[in-house]
Homo-oligomer: A and B are copies of this chain.
Amino acid sequence: MNRPVRLGSIVQALGGELLGPDVDVQRLSPIETAAPGSLSFVSAPRFARQVELTGASALVVPPMLAEAAVARGSCIVTDDVYPYFARLTQFWKALGTEAPVPGVHPTALLHPSAHVSADAVVGPYVVVGAGARIGAGARLDDHVSVGAEAQVGEGSHLYPHVTLGDRCSIGARAVVHAGAVIGADGFGFAPYQGGWIKIEQLGAVRIGDDVEIGANTCIDRGALDDTVIDNGVKLDNLVQIGHNVHIGAHTAMAGCVGVAGSARIGSHCTVGGGAVVLGHLSLADHVHVSAASVVTRSLSKPGQYTGVFPLDDNASWEKNAATLKQLHALRDRIKKLERP
């Protein structure tokens, strides 16, 4: 996505102060691989050394690095470098992207009772069920499946092969990546005579505004009440959200996280990749779970929580792991030694 962009046009669009000549840049680059033509960024004074070393043509920097940055070339100075850079990626993408033409591809199948906004973009082989509603400016890519009475809010974008189940709803400005499944049945069965009786999942999934959902991620419908994802939640790929889970606003979960049924996750939480949250637990706001940790109890205090077996070379691991099975007994032996 290379193209010449004048620094001045960036400052005009996003703010910040331009120091040095108003040159063209060709691309956005990470600081490590930046070369002539690159616009890059340094987010904090502790990375001052990178300002000296980088090959970038221009930098976005905080005020404390402005002097060092302009000494070597053009720079844009702003207080919040990282958010600025995030908005810069949006500006950059918009430059290079033609807005898709509103309209419904002739192969899309819309149920006669579905309401599709005139300025939505509905791609080939999309199927939209009875009574579904697709909001203004929403975009359904090829092969998307929208169930009966489901809703997609304004400006939301569903990538190819997304499945949105019957009666499930997504708010405005959502991004749902390819293959995500919203509204499959929760995993509910009553044990009976050695087998299982299915508990039909009568709830739905309700998703707020500004939510992003990763590729092949699954969010199950509730058993009786709904599964709820609040505004601003960000879920990475291959995440599993069980039935009747509630995720508070602006919580983010990395790839391969599993959240079991009826867990209640607070707002502004983060859950690291591969972590597991067991069912029927509550996590307070601002709880942060480290990658690959298993949450087996409710967490009522904000903070960082971890539970991961430390990696070791295999031979050392084998010794320590074997000893771990005697740990309780070892404790008793220490107790005995302590008695005079």
Contact = CB atoms under 8 A, between A and B. Distances in A.
A307 B309 contact: yes
Given A214-B184, A307-B308, A93 B200 contact: yes
A218 B214 contact: yes
Given A125-B125, A258-B274, A83 B290 contact: no
Contacts of A27: 224
A308 B296 contact: yes
A252 B199 CA distance: 14
Contacts of A179: 161, 163, 179, 181, 216, 218
Count of this chain's copies in the oligomeric assembly: 3
Contacts of A178: 145, 163, 165, 181, 184
Contacts of A33: 225
Most buried by B among A184, A303, A312, A323: A184
Contact of A86 (B181, B198, B260, B273): B198
Interface of A: 1, 27-30, 33, 80, 82-83, 85-87, 89-90, 92-93, 107, 109, 123-125, 127, 141-143, 145, 159-161, 163, 165, 175, 177-179, 181, 184-185, 187-192, 194-202, 210, 212, 214-216, 218, 220, 223-225, 232, 234, 236-238, 240, 242, 250, 252, 254-256, 258, 260, 268, 273-274, 276, 278, 290-297, 303-314, 316-328, 330-331, 333-334, 337-338
A324 to B, nearest CB: 6
Contact of A199 (B89, B142, B160, B327): B89
Contacts of A184: 159, 177-178, 214-215, 237
Contact of A313 (B196, B252, B292, B303): B303
Most buried by B among A92, A179, A260: A179
Contacts of A199: 85-86, 89
B238 A218 contact: yes
Contact of A215 (B181, B214, B306): B181
Nearest to A202: B1
- Nearest first, the 4 A-B pairs at minimum CB distance are A307-B311, A86-B190, A184-B215, A89-B200
A275 to B, nearest CB: 9
B308 A236 contact: no
Contacts of A254: 187, 260
Given A187-B234, A291-B296, A320-B326, 13 more contacts: A89-B202, A127-B142, A142-B145, A165-B178, A178-B181, A179-B181, A181-B216, A189-B234, A238-B258, A293-B311, A305-B314, A310-B321, A330-B330
Contacts of A188: 86
A313 B324 contact: no
Given A178-B145, A324-B324, A82 B256 contact: no
A198 B160 CA distance: 20
A131 B292 CA distance: 41
Contacts of A216: 179, 181, 216, 218, 238
A161 B82 CA distance: 36
A59 to B, nearest CB: 14
A230 to B, nearest CB: 11
Contacts of A175: 185, 198
A253 to B, nearest CB: 9
